[in-house]
Copies of this chain bind each other. A is one copy, B any other.
Amino acid sequence: MNSPALPFPPPGSKTELEEGGVFTPRFDGDGLIGCIALDAHDGAVLMFAHMNAEALRLTLETGVAHYWSRSRQSLWRKGDTSGQVQRVVEIRTDCDQDVLLMTVVPGGDGGACHTGRRSCFYRKLVAEGGNVRLVNDGG
């Protein structure tokens, strides 16, 4: 891909956001946009993370997922330390262009979660007597 211009074009009207053919991502007050990552092999939801404009530009330019770490306050090329580099197959956006849905081929061991699980969503909620427990079933 050629390098997308930065900054991205500003969001237009509701109709332009929903029906337009121009990508005008709506970053939040911290300059971030959420991104859902799916495994290209089976469509499983692997993780959810944030991108700033630079991470999104680098993702589009290189075809490899870059994120913004809110805890470390730094740009983050997924897989640099874990080997779990994510090759981007497709990126979609939603009706009001404030979330991304990205399909990736994960490298390394094929996982995405820093805890060692394949997916970050390895626990389900179970309501029990007014409390909610988490049960780890691997995802």
Contact = CB atoms under 8 A, between A and B. Distances in A.
A7 interface: no
Contact of A132 (B8, B94, B114): B8
Contacts of A135: 21
Contacts of A19: 115
Contacts of A139: 92
A113 B95 contact: yes
Nearest 9 A/B pairs, CB to CB: A1-B127, A94-B120, A23-B132, A92-B121, A48-B99, A91-B125, A2-B130, A101-B121, A95-B120
Contacts of A114: 95
Contacts of A48: 34, 36, 94, 99
